[in-house]
Structures are given as C-alpha cells and as structure tokens.
Amino acid sequence: MIPFFLDRMSMADLEEVAEVEREAFSLPWPSSAYRRELRENKTAYYLVVRRGRHVAAEPPPRRPFPFSLLPQPPRPMPSIHRPNVIGHGGLWMMLDEAHITTIAVRDAYRGQGIGELLLSGLIDHAYELKARWVTLEVRVSNVVAQNLYRKYGFGQTGLRQRYYSDNHEDAYVMATDSITLPESRQRYVELKQRLYEKLESRYHDVVPMAPAIPLERS
C-alpha cells in the first residue's frame, strides 16, 4: 500500500521534477525553467505529489513558569526527509483566470489516479485564488485527457493550430464555466470526494493536503 499527498513544489524538488519531466514529455522543461518560475513568476503556483506520509513538524516543548517568559532558545534544524516526487502540476493566475500549464506523472504511477489528484489540487488552488474560470490546452489526439477534463466541467472553446513544437499537433483550448456558480462548486466537491474515496479504497492510507490519463502540457 502506497500513500500519497499533495505538497507545494520547492527548490529542493527540482532534481526529481526534472526526472518526471524527462519521463513525461518529449520536450521536457529544464530545471532552470522551474527555478525561474518559483523565484520570479508571482502568478505561478506549482505542486507535487509525494510518495510517503505527510509528517507535521513537532511543536517546541512547553516550558514551566517563569522560564516560559524568557525568549525561546534556537532549536537545531531537524534532518528532514522529503518523500519522493512522483508527479507535479502547475498553473498561472491571470486576472480571474487560472490557467493550468502542466500535469506530469512518473511512468510507474500512471493509471493510478495521480494525474486526477494533481488536477484536483490545482482546482483547489484556483478556488483559493478566487478565480472564476480554469483553462488549459490539450492535444487533439489526447481523448482520454479530454474526457477527464470534461468530467471536471471543461468544455472546448478554441483551437490552437500546430501548437505543440515536438510534432506540430493542434491543441484544443478548454475552459470551465464559472467555478463560482453553486452548481459548479457542488459538482467539484462531489468529484473530489469520489476521487479520495477511490484512492483510499486502493491504498487505504492516502493523505490529502487541503489520471489514468496521458500527460499534458499547455
């Protein structure tokens, strides 16, 4: 049984993120691109799926009075083990639109709901940012991904010809209706609940923070 959890991408993850990129895409983004995104792009949000358990930091021990009135002495930094990255995703926030830029999963974990978990995490963040719509691009040949996106309320709104530079394939532009609508929010809550129930029944110990699809990059 393998537990997973969503986490914010950090600089320490970039080596593993680059490995996922090489497995997922014919034209992977280099680590330098993600480093620049994390440091400089204030509109960007990136998350990862980790294999392992989410362990909260231990609070400092309580000191008896009167020592509790004194400044807390510095604590040594613990040795932190960061569980393996098995997938990542990202979005850019543009005015009231959350644009999903990438979803990638390691070869060994495809077909296990990890891509859908990333999509769900990105939509969660879109809600946190008060976005009204979520958009993305998808290869016209990637019917399985399109079906997943439609499940989450995306519809085709346009076509970008020869969008992908590896084979000049066209891309569909897909977007949700306003996610602020009560019916959209309710549908998402129900989909997220079913997703976690599916993962929990498979792994029994999935840890949320808060697809069985070919991988996609906008």
Return the active site residues. 137, 149
Residues 187, 185: Cα–Cα separation, whole Å: 5
> Cα separation of 92 and 94, whole Å?
6
What tokens does 147 get? 């079906």
Which phi and psi (to 5°) does residue 171 adopt? -125, 140
User: How big is the chain by its Cα radius of gyration, in Å?
Assistant: 19
- DSSP 3-state of 118: helix
Distance of alpha carbon 115 from alpha carbon 123, whole angstroms: 12
The residue type of 118 is L
